[in-house]
Structure 1
C-alpha cells in the first residue's frame, strides 16, 4: 500500500514528500503564478533549474528553428531559442526520457508508418495526447512572463493575466502524469485526429497552432498533422466524425485551419461539458477520471459572436498572400460563405 498524505489545502503528497496532486489553489499560486517547477513543484531555492524548450529541442534541431520566430498570442514574435520556461534539472531529464524520446522516435516516421504503429499499439495515441497536453501547458505558462502590450516594453500586464488558470488545472494533471504515474481513464482523453498533410517545403514542414480558450492544439511535422482537443472527452470527434470520414487526401495549410476552426467552435459551444476529477484508491493508486454527458449537443444561438467563419478568418488572414480582391475573400470567409475543405457537392478538395 502506498502512503499518501492530504495537506490542509487538499494537496496530496507521498511518503517521500513528492506532490502527487496539486490542489487548485496550490497549482495557481505555485505553478501558474509562481516560479516552482511545473512538474514536481520544487522551488528554485530547493533544486537546480534549467530551461525547458516549449517546442521540443528535437523539433528545433530537425527543422533548424533556433533562429526562426514563433508568433505569440498578442501578435508579437519570439525566437524559438528563447521560447523556454524554467524547469528543475531532474524533471527536465525525466521529460526527455519518459516523453520526448519515445515521441521523437514515433513522430520521426512517415504518416503511413505512424498509422501502422498505432494500429498495433493504440496506447501510442494516448502518448501523443499527453505530449500535446504538455506543450499546451508550457505555451500557457510562458505567457505569464510575456508582456501583453507588443508595442512597448513598459508596463506590467502579461499575456497570461487573461488566462483562466482554473481551466488549465486538469491539463496540468495530464501533462505531469508520467511523474505521478496516474492512471488515466479512457473517457478523459479528448478528440484527436491524425491527418496526412501537404509537405510544402521539401521535407522541412513544421507548423504549430494552439487556442488557449478552446484547448485545441495542432502540430504538423513533415507529411502529417495532429489536431487535438484537450478537454472535450471526444465531443468533437462525436460531432465531426462524418466530416472526418470525407477527408480523402493530404491537408493544405488552409484546410488544417478550417478543421481547427470547427473543433474550436464545437468545444466552445457544448451545451453540457464533461467534468474531470482525480481520485485515489485504498491502495494509493492515483486515477484521473471524467464524467461525460449522456448526449453531446451544442448551444443554439441566433446572434453568434464566435462562428466557424470568424474563427477561420482569424487563422487564415496572416498566411494568405496578397492579391487583388483579398479583402473581399476574407470577408466571405468571415461570413461563413467560403471554405477550403469541401466543394459545392460536398467532396473533399484534394490538392495532392
Structure 2
C-alpha cells in the first residue's frame, strides 16, 4: 500500500483521540507525549513552571502534551529524542554535526505541539462562548504545510531540490543551566539558547529568511556570541519572518513507494518583493522584547533611527567580540 500523508487540520481533525503523527486511533488516553521533551524539562527544572498560551490562559510545561501512539513514539519520536539529547548534552560541536533534517524534525514536532495545544485552548474558549471555532485560512495552510513536512519522521518523503526551513546555529557563551526559548506561532519561527549554543529556525520559508539574512550570518556564524548578541540576531530573524509576505505552496507527488514534495515559485505572478519594507521602529520594538533581560527601552534602541543600537557590529559594520561588550550575561 502506498504511503498516505495525514492531514489533521482538514476539518479540524486535530483530535486528542488520534496520533498526532500518523492519524491512527489511540488505544488509550495514556498514549501521549510531552511537547517539551522529558529530558529537557528535567535538566532545566521546567516541569511546573508556567507557560502562557495565546488566549492568556496559563498551563505548565509538563501539562502540554501531544496524543501519540505507543508505536509511533517507539519507532519515530524516541529515537529522534535520544539523538537530539545526546548532541545537545555535549554542546555546540556535536549539534553542528547533526543532520539538519533531524533538527528540523525535532523543532517541527515541538512547535506542532505548541500549535496543537493553542488550538485546543482556542476551541475550548470559543465553544464556552457559544461561538463556532475559526482560524484564518493562511495560518491554517501554514500549519498544514508544517505538519506535512514533519511527517518526514515517519514517511518516505523527499524534498525535491529545496529545504523548507532556514536554520542558524551559533556558539554562545551562556550562563550555566540557562534555558532561553521563544517561538512565534504565526510565522512558525523558533529559537532556543542552552548549554554553549543557540539555535534559530524558521520552519516554513523554503530558506528565504536565511538568504535574506545571509550577509549578516556570514559575518558572525563562526564567532562566539554573547547572549545579547544572539538575541539581537534572533530579533532580526523573527522580524524578517514577519516581513516575509509569501505563503509557500507545494506539489505533493506520490511516486512508487515514496512521496516527493516540490516547492512552487514564491514569486508567483506578483512583482511585489518577497519581504515588506524594514521599519526601524518596528524592528526596535522586537529588539526591545528580546533585550528585556538587559533593560533596554525602545527610545534608547532607536535614539538614532538611522543606526539602531547594535551589540553585534560597530559603526563601521565590524563585529564586536563578545569579551569587549562589558555586559553581564
Provide closer, same or farther for how the CA distance between residues 104 and 85 of structure 1 changes in structure 2, counting only shifts above 3 A. same
Q: When the two structures are aligned, how many residues end up with a matched partner?
A: 316
* Structure 2 runs not aligned, ≥5 long: 324-329
Structure 2 residue matching 1:277: 3-state secondary structure: strand
Aligned residue in 2 for 1:10:
none
For the 8 Å contact 2:166–2:210, the answer to whether it is kept is yes
User: Residues 332 and 70 (structure 1 numbering): CA distance in 2 closer, same or farther, change over 3 Å?
Assistant: farther
Per the alignment, residue 261 of structure 1 pairs with 235
| Shift in CA distance, 147/327, structure 1 to aligned 2, threshold 3 Å | same
Residue from 195, 208, 211 that aligns with 1:238: 211
2:327 corresponds in structure 1 to: none
User: 1:8 maps to which residue?
Assistant: none
Q: Secondary structure at the match of 1:175?
A: helix
The question of 1:228 aligning with 2:201 is answered yes
Closer, same or farther: CA 287–240 of 1 in aligned 2, 3 Å? same
Match of 1:169 in 2: 144
Q: TM-score, normalised by structure 1?
A: 0.76
Residue 21 (structure 1) aligned with residue 2 (structure 2): no
TM-score by length of 2: 0.80
Measured against aligned partners, the alpha-carbon deviations of 1:262-309 in whole angstroms (never above 9, x if no partner) come to 22333333465542232111x23112221344799444549x698322
Q: 1:97 to 1:269 in 2, by over 3 A?
A: same
Distance across 1 between alignment mates of 2:309 and 2:280: 18
Unpaired stretches in structure 1, ≥5 consecutive residues: 5-13, 15-19, 119-123
Q: 1:342 aligns with which of 306, 313, 316?
A: 313
Question: Which structure has more RCO (C-alpha within 8 Å, separation ≥ 6)?
Answer: 2
Distance 1:159 1:254 in 2: 40
Does residue 41 in structure 1 map to residue 15 in structure 2?
A: no
Q: How do 1:259-298 residues align onto structure 2 when only pairs under 5 Å count? A: 259-270=233-244, 274-281=248-255, 283-293=256-266, 297-298=273-274
Corresponding residue to 1:85 among 66, 80, 99 = 66
Two-structure CA RMSD over aligned residues (Å):
3.6
